[in-house]
Every structure is written in C-alpha cells, then in structure tokens.
Amino acid sequence: MKYVIRPAARDDIIRQFRYYLVTENAPDAAFRFLDAVDDSIERLLPLPHAGVPRYSKNPALEGLRSWPVKGFEDIRIYYLLLPNVLRVVRVLHGRRDVQGILARESEGDE
C-alpha cells in the first residue's frame, strides 16, 4: 500500500513544524515532529484499519480514521482508505476546531 498526503495535510504539517521552530524556539522538536509524522504513517501502512474510525457529517470523509503522531499524541493524522492508497486528509492538533475543519473538507486530491 502507498500513501498520498493531500495539500491541506501538508500545510498542517508545515504549520506545526513552524510552530515548534519559531514560536516555541524548539528546532529539535520541529524536526522530531517531521520524522514522527513519517514514521506514524509508515506504521499505518501494513495495518491501515488500526486507526480509530471517526464520524463525520461530511460525505467526502466517509470512512475517515485517525491515528496519533507518535510522541506528539495531541496531534492526529486523519486519513481515508482507498484501494491500495492511504490518503492523508489532515494532520491536526486536538486543540483546533477539528470537527469544523473536517466539515469543510472536499473530495479530490488537489
């Protein structure tokens, strides 16, 4: 199985990286975060159904699941399973309006 990171999820990752790097002045945490996202996605690939099913009223997110970023458990990877593809939709911190953000997601890979 392969994975695809949608642009919105890539933006989420960059936003969180910058937060650690600039706001927290923690470059070690910033780079650990990037590695942790990659490692967490790689861990999901052999067992993609391990993620917690998430309910969403948004029909574009039917079958949505989430998985924590290892070492950054307040941040979750939200993904969909497609034939032979794990599509990372968003990577969001739990303090954000996760439901509101997900409600605005649309279909497509942009």
Domains of the chain: 2-103 (3.30.2310.20)
- In which band, very low, low, confident or very high, does the pLDDT at 109 lie, cut at 50, 70 and 90? very low
The predicted model scores a pTM of 0.93
Task: Look up residue 101 and give its two tokens.
Answer: 């953000």
Instruction: State how beta strands 2-5 and 85-93 pair.
Output: parallel
- In which band, very low, low, confident or very high, does the pLDDT at 58 lie, cut at 50, 70 and 90? confident
| 11-48 per-position pLDDT tens digit | 999 999 999 999 999 999 999 999 999 999 999 999 99
